[in-house]
Structure 1
Amino acid sequence: MYTGLLYLHSFLRWVILILALVAIYKSFIGMRAGRPFTAGDKKVGLFLMISAHTTLLVGLYLYFAGPWGVAEIQNLGFGAVMKDRVARFYAVEHIFGMLVAIALITVGRGAAKKSIPDAAKHRRTFWFFLVGLVIILATIPWPFRAGIARPWF
């Protein structure tokens, strides 16, 4: 079960990245061209938030049930985890970065639901989603990152 959920978690990152890029692009174009904030814009933001929250739930299970999260802290102790680059990434940096990014995506989605001008909705979703995406990109264990690498899928 753990391995299957790990593959699901890795797959869902691509869903989030694609939806984030689409949402950021739509917000940028809407901001620049002065377009109305459409139902399509709302749906992309909603699907982004849903996929991020689903990935978070799978990730929390992996964190608490797997060997790299809580188990690593319990086995090595927090001080030793913080000194080990790989253990620190999985036990602290990855989960913290993703929690912040998902919070930003959620706040951005909430900002789009407010009764404010469409230009402000586009601007807010653009910036919240963009910063969330940057944090996600920084805290994904990409295959080219030595020591913490995970496969592409």
Structure 2
Amino acid sequence: MYNGLLHLHNILRWVVLILLLVSMFQAFAAKNSSAGGLRKTSLFLLISAHIQFLIGLYQWFAGEFGLNLIQDSGMAVVMKNSALRFWAVEHIVGMLIAIILITIARGKVKRSAFGAAAWLYVIALILILASVPWPFRDGVARPWFPGS
């Protein structure tokens, strides 16, 4: 089950990134309160980002790179090792902040504050890009797609 959720988490990353980019560009382009496309896209983004976070939260509690790593090695050891620190702390904290910003941005879209939503999406995108274990990151790399 853990591996299946890990693959789903990997695939859903792309859904979240695509929806985030689309929502961000729509928010920058929105001029009036009838931005129906943005409202739908931002809702799909909100739902997929929260599902992604719930899957990741399960992995953090049940997997080997989250709470179990901290309990087995100790927080001091984890914080001294950059790869362990990434999985136990940086990844989950960065993603949590990004999800919070996406949630706030969705509220801004509902109130037609498109400019504020756009900038919140930009900050969330930067946090997500910094917190994803891309294949080119030393020590924490994951494949572009599951099974590759």
Tell me which interval the TM-score lies in, with the shorter structure as reference length.
over 0.9
Structure 2: gaps (5+ residues): none
Task: Return the alpha-carbon distance in structure 1 between the equivalents of residues 135 and 34 of structure 2.
Answer: 37
Residue aligning to 2:9:
9
User: Alpha carbons of 1:137 and 1:37: their partners in 2 closer, same or farther (altered >3 Å)?
Assistant: farther
Residue 131 of structure 2 corresponds to residue 139 of structure 1? yes
The Cα offsets for residues 16-70 of structure 1, whole Å up to 9 and x where unpaired, read as: 100011011111122xxx3444221101101111000000000001000000000
Q: CA RMSD in A?
A: 1.0
Which residues of structure 1 form unaligned runs of 5+?
A: none
State whether residues 37 and 122 of structure 1, in contact with CA within 8 Å, keep that contact through their aligned partners in structure 2: no
Asked if the contact 2:12/2:52 (under 8 Å) is kept, the reply is yes
Give the corresponding residue for 1:25.
25
Structure 1 stretch displaced more, 7-16 or 34-43: 34-43
Distance in 2 between the 1:77 and 1:130 partners?
35
Residue 70 (1) aligns with residue 67 (2): yes
Aligned position for 2:114? 122
Q: What CA deviation, in whole Å up to 9, does each residue of 1:79-110 have, x standing for no partner?
A: 00000111100000000000000000000101
Separation in 2, partners of 1:108, 1:100: 12
Q: Is the 8 A contact 2:27 2:117 kept in 1?
A: yes
Letter in 1 for 2:144: W
Identity of aligned residues (%): 51
Could you tell me how far apart the structure 1 residues matched to 2:49 and 2:65 are?
20
The two structures have a TM-score, normalised by structure 1, of 0.92
Q: Whole-Å Cα distance in 1 between the matches of residues 33 and 97 of structure 2?
A: 29
Q: Which amino acid aligns with 2:8?
A: L
Q: Could you tell me which amino acid in structure 1 is paired with residue 40 of structure 2? A: K
1:61 aligned to 55, 58, 74, which one? Answer: 58
Cα distance in 2 for partners of 1:90, 1:110 equals 30
Q: Could you say what secondary structure the match of 1:61 adopts?
A: helix
Residue in 1 aligned with 2:89? 92
* Alpha carbons 2:60, 2:67 under 8 Å: kept: yes
2:14 maps to amino acid:
W
Could you list the runs of 4 or more consecutive aligned residues of structure 1 that deviate by over 6 angstroms after TM superposition? Answer: none
Taking the aligned partners of 2:80 and 2:34, their CA distance within structure 1 comes to 47
State the number of aligned residues: 145
Counterpart CA distance in 1 for 2:107 and 2:35 is 15
